[in-house]
Amino acid sequence: MAFKQFRFNIVLRVLLLTATCLALFITLNSTFTFTPILVAGLIIYQVWSLIRYVDRTNRELAGFLESIRYSEFTRTFQISDGGSSFDELNEAFNDVMKDFQQVRSEREEHFHYLQSIVQSIDVSILAYQRDGTVEMINPAAKKLFQVSSLRNINSLRSLSEKLANTLLSINPGENKLVKVQDDEDILQLAIFATEFKVKDKVILLSTIKNIQNVLEEQETAAWQKLIRVLTHEIMNSIAPISSLSSTIESMVKPYSSGEKGMPEMDMEIIQEIQGALQTINKRSTGLMNFVETYRSLTKIPEPNFSVVNMQELIGHVQTLMKKDVERKNILMETSVEPDTIEVQIDEQMIEQVLINLIKNSVQALKGRLGAKIQIRGFYNKRGRPSIQVIDNGQGILDEVIDKIFIPFFTTKQNGSGIGLSLSRQILRLHGGTITAKSTPNEETIFTMTF
């Protein structure tokens, strides 16, 4: 039954056209003058009508395809005068349009959902091309930069040259910290960028967060910890100095004031005063050494960077420490996977950090059976080169581990408390971090990440 009426109309029109052509042939051989002209005109009309009839379906199909091409899904299709043979085609056309309408509606709902998230989130978001053309800016970014609109990143140069240059030069997956002085306000902006492609355009999507308050809180907490340590150390030195100086003063005051009836100063008193002065001298010297050590923390030289193979670095440190470790019956193992890892570092500085960490592990392993130190080089889950120093020593208590990087804090009897603090500063100069994790009496892991 499909296309039955359509075929019938086509066959009928072809038969009529054939009959008309036959009539034209007959009239051409007759004595009639105007009849052949009329028959020829009828043939032309029939051909034109047949073409128009066939083209109607093609026009409907072309209209359907144009609707898809230009995303015009509001039209409906009804091929008239086609009879039941075109009902299935009409229904198929309209079903396809309904499906497209549904898909488009779902995509619009999803787009509006994402737009709502982007517009309401308190993190500033910028989407822009490499030439600075801004594709999207959310309200949080407008509020942060105090602008009603932003068409190009270069417009931010009036706020900060460094900020504009950072946004234009930042690489995908890179984190940047930019300080911006905005009149009386100081902004510490943490910027992270990712890259994606839309059609033929490469878009950078940067998230920007003002972390000034967080940094100030952390800085305040760090200073408070440092001040507590400094106060404790200084008070330990000043208290006996103050007490002894007061005692000496009370002993010599009667003589210096010329009181009558005072006996001559005997050897016992002189020795007591001498001992007190020696104690004062010792504590004063210790306090001066403490201050000198503190000064050394502020004089770390700038790193002299070079590309270093991590396996060679660890191998060199292992050679330097091998005798000391073996002398204390400690097994030291090293591994680097892959062995082609390279890092841009000051080799001498990082070697010193590794040596300090190994020495700490040796001390923690004192008297330990099956003592072992592992040095691992690898890429972490974020693809950053990392080195771990692992030991199975006594470990670090939970209440202590968050203080071990504070200058002068130490749990060792003769420790200075600056080794790990220096190590952290060295890693910061390399743009990296050093962290510690410990399970007491099981395992301690120091991780350096570059």
Give the residue-averaged pLDDT of 73-92.
58
Write out pLDDT tens, residues 323-333: 888 888 899 99
Sign of CA dihedral 418, 419, 424, 426: positive
Give the residue-averaged pLDDT of 399-424.
71
Say if 240 falls within a structural domain: yes
- Compute the distance between CA of residue 40 and CA of residue 47 in angstroms, rounded to an integer: 11
Residues 313 and 443 in one domain: yes
Residues 25 and 41 in one domain: yes
Residues 311 and 437 in one domain: yes
- Compute the distance between CA of residue 391 and CA of residue 368 in angstroms, rounded to an integer: 11
Residues 330 and 429 in one domain: yes
Say if 17 falls within a structural domain: yes
SS3 363: helix
Supply the pLDDT for residue 1. Answer: 39
Residues 399 and 369 in one domain: yes
Write out pLDDT tens, residues 206-229: 998 888 667 656 665 666 666 666
Q: What is the CATH number of the domain that holds 152?
A: 3.30.450.20
- Compute the distance between CA of residue 132 and CA of residue 151 in angstroms, rounded to an integer: 8
Write out pLDDT tens, residues 251-299: 666 666 655 555 665 666 666 666 767 766 666 666 666 666 555 555 6
Say if 80 falls within a structural domain: yes
Supply the pLDDT for residue 376. Answer: 92
Supply the pLDDT for residue 254. Answer: 63
Say if 31 falls within a structural domain: yes
Taking the mean position of all CA atoms in its chain, how far away is CA 34? Answer: 90
Residues 254 and 184 in one domain: no
Most confidently modeled of 83-87, 269-273, 316-320, 381-385? 316-320
pLDDT, mean over the chain: 77
- Compute the distance between CA of residue 360 and CA of residue 369 in angstroms, rounded to an integer: 17
For 172, the token pair is 């995908």
Supply the pLDDT for residue 3. Answer: 45
Q: What is the CATH number of the domain that holds 246?
A: 1.10.287
Write out pLDDT tens, residues 2-25: 345 666 777 787 888 888 888 877
Residue-by-residue DSSP string for 6-62: HHHHHHHHHHHHHHHHHHHHHHHTSS-SSHHHHHHHHHHHHHHHHHHHHHHHHHHHH
CB 411 within 8 A of CB 400: yes
Domain tally for the chain? 4
Residues 321 and 420 in one domain: yes
Q: What is the CATH number of the domain that holds 443?
A: 3.30.565.10
- Compute the distance between CA of residue 413 and CA of residue 393 in angstroms, rounded to an integer: 17
Say if 71 falls within a structural domain: yes
Domain limits for position 13: 4-103
Residues 284 and 333 in one domain: no
H or E stretch at 108: helix 87-120
Percent of the chain with pLDDT over 90: 14
Residues 310 and 424 in one domain: yes
Q: 246-276 burial by CB neighbour count: b if 16+ within 10 A, else e?
A: eeeeeeeeeeeeeeeeeeeeeeeeeeebeeb
| Residue finishing a domain among 186, 210, 234 | 210
Say if 423 falls within a structural domain: yes
Say if 110 falls within a structural domain: no
Residue 380 one-letter amino acid = N
Say if 111 falls within a structural domain: no
Report in angstroms the alpha-carbon separations of 265 from 268, 272, 429.
8, 11, 60
Give the residue-averaged pLDDT of 292-316.
78
Percent of the chain with pLDDT over 70: 64
| Residue finishing a domain among 263, 297, 331 | 297
Q: Regarding predicted confidence, which is higher, 281 or 309? A: 309
- Compute the distance between CA of residue 211 and CA of residue 188 in angstroms, rounded to an integer: 6
- Compute the distance between CA of residue 10 and CA of residue 46 in angstroms, rounded to an integer: 11
pTM of the model: 0.44
- Compute the distance between CA of residue 93 and CA of residue 91 in angstroms, rounded to an integer: 5
Residues 232 and 353 in one domain: no
Q: What is the largest CA-CA distance in the chain?
A: 178
Residues 60 and 164 in one domain: no
Name the residue among 55, 52, 57, 77 with its Cα closest to residue 3. Answer: 57
CB 100 within 8 A of CB 69: no
- Compute the distance between CA of residue 181 and CA of residue 147 in angstroms, rounded to an integer: 16
3-state SS of the chain: helix, strand, coil percent to 5?
A: 55, 20, 25
Residues 353 and 367 in one domain: yes
Taking 60 as the threshold, does the pLDDT of residue 368 lie above it?
yes
| Residue finishing a domain among 210, 235, 253 | 210
